[in-house]
Amino acid sequence: MTAASRFISINGRPVKTPIVLASMAGITDSEYVLARSKHAGVAFIGGYNTDEPSRNASAEMEAAGRTEFDAGFDEIATEIDILDGADIILGLNLRGATPEAFVAAAKRFGSSVIYEIDAHCRQQPMIDAGCGEYLLHNPDKLCAIVSALAAEGVTVSVKTRAGVADDRELAKKLWKAGAKILHVDLMDTGHTKIRQIRNSCPLILIANNSVTSPDKMMDYFAHGADLVSVARSASVSVLQTLDRYIRAVAEEIGWYNAPKQLCRGGDLRSLAFCCMPVKQCPLLPSLESLGMSREEYMNLKKELTAGTPLSQGSHTCFGSLAYCCKSSTPCMFRDMTLKSIDLPMNEYMALKRTLSEKIVKKIFEDV
């Protein structure tokens, strides 16, 4: 598998591994990233302050004992230059109170980096300055920043904290405002929240919180995450373990973040595995919530699999691999069909991934 087909692409570049280094004020800089870049695909350095209110708040926080970055645009430019050529996609985690502050950064640093709006910091001086978590309580102001950045032609990420606002509605607003990435600190909400957000928008989702083991990572991937991020636990040994595990999964399974099946708590991506809608099961209320009739669902699958190996399978339960289940579910009819057309299981899952992406695209195009 190529890097692009193995995982995903961000900011026009394939991600070599879906492991992200999260920003930590006063810690995550070029030196920190370079020491870990072998086992991370994306890194957000910062947080950096963009205007007077955020700089004053940062100084107050530092006086109270927190570690902070005191970096102007020149110093940030130097950090970007140091990481130029490193095999990692770079993002800047930025704090600010106005669209103009973020636009000034975009004009200075261009489109080679991701601009991550920090709507995550919950330190009181930053909130009082109209930055960080203040923006979650004032989503119109957050969306204005997103729109202003998007208008500059750059890739916009938003770092949020789950449970502060209505996460599903916020995700929709940020998507419509022009964001491309949502980086969510899940706090204590776990995979339930990431599934809800996944079903609300087509944004690239980064799940953050306590990702220290392959089991935790795969739990987030199975419920809607595209990437996972690591902050305080980002030792080289932890990153290496996560990276090696997910690379092996990608090669063996063919779909590194394959969702659970819908009937087992999967998100909308799992419609690629669903049967024909002929019995009472979670598929029916899901279609109803989408405003999609049974006939539209079946026609969509027929249309999207036409001319592909998934259109075959006359001896399967519903006459087509389009309705067949995930590779982890035993099925002799599916397996006999795959053998008869010489389609390896990991290639079958890669085709299911493509089908899923097309289904989800159609759903949100209609929205």
pLDDT in tens, 200-218: 999 999 999 989 999 999 9
CATH number assigned to the domain covering 3-253: 3.20.20.70
Residue 248 has pLDDT above 80, yes or no: yes
Residue 3 has pLDDT above 70, yes or no: no
CA distance 367 to 364: 5
Residue 351 has pLDDT above 90, yes or no: yes
pLDDT of residue 189: 86
Residue 25 has pLDDT above 80, yes or no: yes
SS3 labels along the chain: CCHHHHCCEECCEECCCCEEECCCCCCECHHHHHCCHHHCCEEEEEEEECCHHHHHHHHHHHHCCCCCCCCCHHHHHHHHHHHCCCCCEEEEEEECCCHHHHHHHHHHHHHHCEEEEECCCCCHHHHHCCCCCHHHHCHHHHHHHHHHHHCCCCEEEEEEECCCCCHHHHHHHHHHHCCCEEEEECCCCCHHHHHHHHCCCCCEEEEECCCCCHHHHHHHHHCCCCEEEECCCCCHHHHHHHHHHHHHHHHHHCCCCCCCCHHHCCCHHHHHHCCCCCCCCCHHHHHHHHCCCHHHHHHHHHHHHCCCHHHCCCCCCCCCHHHCCCCCCCCHHHHHHHHHCCCCHHHHHHHHHHHHHHHHHHHHHHC
pLDDT of residue 188: 84
284 exposure class (CB count in 10 Å sphere: 0-12, 13-18, 19+): middle
Decide if 279 contacts 59 (C-beta within 8 A).
no
Residue 42 has pLDDT above 80, yes or no: yes
Q: In Å, how far are 49, 157, 238, 315 from 143, measured between CA atoms?
A: 19, 12, 35, 51
Q: Which band of pLDDT confidence, cut at 50, 70 and 90, is reported for residue 279?
A: confident
pLDDT of residue 1: 63
Q: What integer best gives the mean pLDDT of the chain?
A: 96
Q: Tell me the domain boundaries of the chain.
A: 3-253, 262-366
pLDDT of residue 190: 83
Decide if 327 contacts 348 (C-beta within 8 A).
yes
How long a stretch of residues is the chain? 367
Q: Which of 217, 183, 235 is nearest to 39 (CA)?
A: 235
CA distance 197 to 184: 10
Return the percentage of the chain with pLDDT > 90, whole number.
95
pLDDT of residue 5: 77
pLDDT of residue 366: 73
Q: Is the dihedral of CA 134, 140, 143, 144 positive or negative?
A: negative
Q: Which band of pLDDT confidence, cut at 50, 70 and 90, is reported for residue 315?
A: very high
pLDDT of residue 330: 95
CB neighbours (10 Å) of residue 293?
12
